[in-house]
């Protein structure tokens, strides 16, 4: 197996309406087993994926929002959220689920996974990646 690669999963679509968010999340969970340097980015309507209190009941479509809470256990610890995309949709950090991971290097202290970033920061992060997955 080659050296560890930096992989970013970019999420641009709302959780429902199309299947990209759900099937994108499935790739992230399977990919976790490969122990790469993984991060996720949420931009455009993709920020809706992380909303608190989602209820898909009336649509008859599975609500997979709780699955994002498992990401920390899969060592997916870096969730970059585009600040401007949030603002454009009238959202703030507190509207999103409180997602955490346990930091091995600091006695498993619980830390927030979501980091708000500017578009400039996101662009730098993307540039650092070996692989970009777009969903």
Partner 1 sequence: MKFSIMVNEAPYSHQAADTAYHFAKAVLAQGHELFRVFFYHDGVNNGTRLATPPQDDRNVVARWSALAQESDVDLVVCVAAAQRRGIADVDEARRNSKDADNLAPGFRISGLGQLIEAAIEADRLVEFGD
Strand partners, 131: 7
Answer for which of 27, 61, 70, 92 binds partner 1 (CB under 8 A) is 27
Strand partners, 10: 41, 134
Collapsing DSSP states into helix, strand and coil, what is residue 52?
coil
- Rounded distance between C-alpha atoms, residue 108 and residue 99, angstroms: 15
Contacts with partner 1 in 36-55 (CB under 8 A)? 36
Rule CB under 8 A: say whether 56 interacts with partner 1: no
Strand partners, 116: 81
Rule CB under 8 A: say whether 30 interacts with partner 1: yes
Rule CB under 8 A: say whether 120 interacts with partner 1: no
Rule CB under 8 A: say whether 105 interacts with partner 1: no
Rule CB under 8 A: say whether 95 interacts with partner 1: no
Rule CB under 8 A: say whether 34 interacts with partner 1: yes
Enumerate residues 6+ apart whose C-beta is below 8 A from 111. 77, 100, 101, 102, 103
Rule CB under 8 A: say whether 64 interacts with partner 1: no
In the structure encoding, which two tokens stand for residue 133, read together?
């997955």
Residue whose CB is less far from partner 1, 62 or 98: 62
Interface stretch with partner 1, choices 41-49, 66-74, 86-94, 127-135 (CB under 8 A): 127-135
- Rounded distance between C-alpha atoms, residue 25 and residue 17, angstroms: 15
Half-sphere CA count of 131, side-chain side, radius 13 A: 13
Binding site for partner 1 (CB under 8 A): 1-2, 5, 7, 19-20, 23, 26-27, 30-31, 33-34, 36, 131-134
């Amino acid at each position: 197996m080659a050296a560890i690669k930096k992989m970013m999963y970019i999420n641009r679509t709302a959780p429902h309406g199309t299947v990209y968010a759900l099937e994108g999340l499935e790739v992230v969970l399977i990919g976790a087993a490969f122990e790469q340097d993984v991060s996720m980015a949420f931009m455009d309507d993709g920020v809706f994926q992380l909303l608190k209190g989602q209820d898909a009941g009336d649509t008859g479509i599975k609500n997979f929002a709780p699955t994002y809470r498992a990401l920390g256990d899969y060592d997916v610890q870096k969730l970059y959220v585009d600040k401007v995309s949030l603002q454009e949709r009238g959202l703030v950090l507190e509207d999103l689920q409180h997602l955490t991971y346990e930091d091995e290097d600091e006695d498993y202290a619980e830390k927030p996974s979501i980091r708000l970033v500017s578009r400039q920061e996101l662009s730098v992060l993307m540039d650092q990646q070996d692989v970009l997955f777009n969903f």
